[in-house]
Structure 1
Amino acid sequence: MRVVTISATYGTAGSQIGPAAAERLGVPFIDRAIPSAVAEELGCTLEEALAHDDRAEHGIGRLFSGAMRLPTVTFGGVDMYVPGAMPLAPEEFVSRTERVLKETARLQGGVFLGRAGALVLGDHPGALHVRLDAPLTRRVRQTATLGQLSEREARQIIEDNDRARSAYVRHFYRTDPADARLYHLVIDSTTIPVATCVELIVMASEARD
């Protein structure tokens, strides 16, 4: 079964490229289904799972990066956002997220966006690991244009997201997500059209077979 992980900095069209690549490869696009599956496994609310998710708007990476402040409870010296009455340690959510990724990859394959997929599925046979990245100035310009924002607003959104996603990977995996050695393919999707990026990923995935 085809498995592709995509690590995408904000403003590189990961949410467009991922689903399109999955459709071309005939496998599911795995993103929003992950926190739902983790919540079901842990018996907690979806809101709690999202609070600890790498890709969520209020995910735990933002707490570690200091990009935002939310109501917290302290566990083992770590301040964590807890929307419900029964808090759970962040490590438990990350552990269950890893389990969901591995089982989904084994049972049905898929294109996995975010959540340190290149590290979690690094040993999965035949998996392709992709990084979408580009210089900040081009990502700012693209985000401002698509979101009808000022470049100042776009820059703030990108910097907050970059800091949060990097904090998640650095905290739980002690690794820099921008390290090119983690990936088979690194693409600047601000200069290469989305359709071409999809084609490159599909060709590379098929070549991994």
Structure 2
Amino acid sequence: MRVVTISATYGTAGSQIGPAVAELLGVPFVDRAIPSAVAEELGCTLEEALAHDDRAEHGLGRLFAGAVRLPTVTFGGVDMYVPGAMPLAPEEFVRRTERMLTEMARNQGGVFLGRAGAVVLAGHPGALHVRLDAPLRRRIRQTATLGELSEREARRIIEDNDRARAAYVRHFYRADPGDPCQYHLVLDSTTIPVRTCVELIVKAAESLD
């Protein structure tokens, strides 16, 4: 079963490239299923789980970035309190997420977007680890065009997301998500067309047989 992890900075079309790669490889695209599965296992709501997830719009990473201020938020094993929710330690959410990623990779394969997949599945046999990145200026232009936003607003969104996702990986894994040594393939999807990026990733994944 093929396994591909994709780490994508905001504005590099990770949410388009991931599903397309999964379809061509004949494996599931695993993104939104992760917080849903963790929420079910923990017995909390999906909204509570998303509050701890690095891919969610208002996920845990926003706390590190300072974009969201929730009451009584601390780290280092202390519970994080979300309004209306039962206490849920961020470390527990991340631990369950790691287990979900590992089990899904082993049992069904898949294309995994975000959640430090390259670190969590670094030892998985035959896994391909991919990084999508590009200069900030090109990501701003692409985000503004696709989202019909001003470049100023696109820059704000990108910088918030970049800080949040990097904080998640650094805090829980003491790793730099931008370190190319973690990946087999690094692509600039603002210059290389999305379709070509998909084909390159599929070819690379198939070559690991």
With the shorter chain as reference, the TM-score category is over 0.9
Question: Taking structure 1 as the reference length, what is the TM-score of the superposition?
Answer: 0.96
**Percent of aligned positions with the same letter in both sequences?**
86
Distance 2:161 2:81 in 1: 17
Change (3 A) 1:11 1:130: same
Q: Tell me which amino acid in the other structure corresponds to 1:84.
A: G
What residue in structure 2 maps to residue 178 of structure 1?
178
- 2:104 and 2:110 in contact (8 A); partners too: yes
What residue in structure 2 maps to residue 129 of structure 1?
129
Q: Tell me which amino acid in the other structure corresponds to 2:31.
A: D
Shift, 1:45, TM fit: 0.9
Q: Which runs of structure 1 show a deviation greater than 6 angstroms over 4 or more consecutive aligned residues?
A: none
Q: Tell me which amino acid in the other structure corresponds to 1:131.
A: R
What residue in structure 2 maps to residue 51 of structure 1?
51
Matches within 5 A, 1:61-80: 61-74=61-74, 80=80
Distance 2:147 2:101 in 1: 30
Q: Tell me which amino acid in the other structure corresponds to 2:32.
A: R
Distance 1:77 1:27 in 2: 35
Distance 2:197 2:74 in 1: 43
Q: Tell me which amino acid in the other structure corresponds to 2:187.
A: I
Change (3 A) 1:84 1:76: farther
Distance 2:125 2:63 in 1: 34
Mean CA deviation greater in 56-65 or 156-165 = 56-65
What residue in structure 1 maps to residue 2 of structure 2?
2
Change (3 A) 1:79 1:142: farther
Matches within 5 A, 1:64-103: 64-74=64-74, 80-103=80-103
For residues 30-84 of structure 1, the C-alpha deviation after alignment (integer angstroms, 9 at most, x for no partner) is: 0000000000111111111100001001100110122222344446586835143
Matches within 5 A, 1:1-209: 1-74=1-74, 80-209=80-209
Distance 2:66 2:73 in 1: 15
Gaps spanning 5+ residues in structure 2: where?
A: none
Question: Taking structure 2 as the reference length, what is the TM-score of the superposition?
Answer: 0.96
For residues 69-100 of structure 1, the C-alpha deviation after alignment (integer angstroms, 9 at most, x for no partner) is: 23444465868351433111100000000000
Change (3 A) 1:192 1:128: same
- 1:28 and 1:109 in contact (8 A); partners too: yes
Gaps spanning 5+ residues in structure 1: where?
A: none
Counting matched residue pairs gives 209
- 2:133 and 2:188 in contact (8 A); partners too: yes
Distance 2:152 2:99 in 1: 39
Q: Tell me which amino acid in the other structure corresponds to 2:98.
A: E
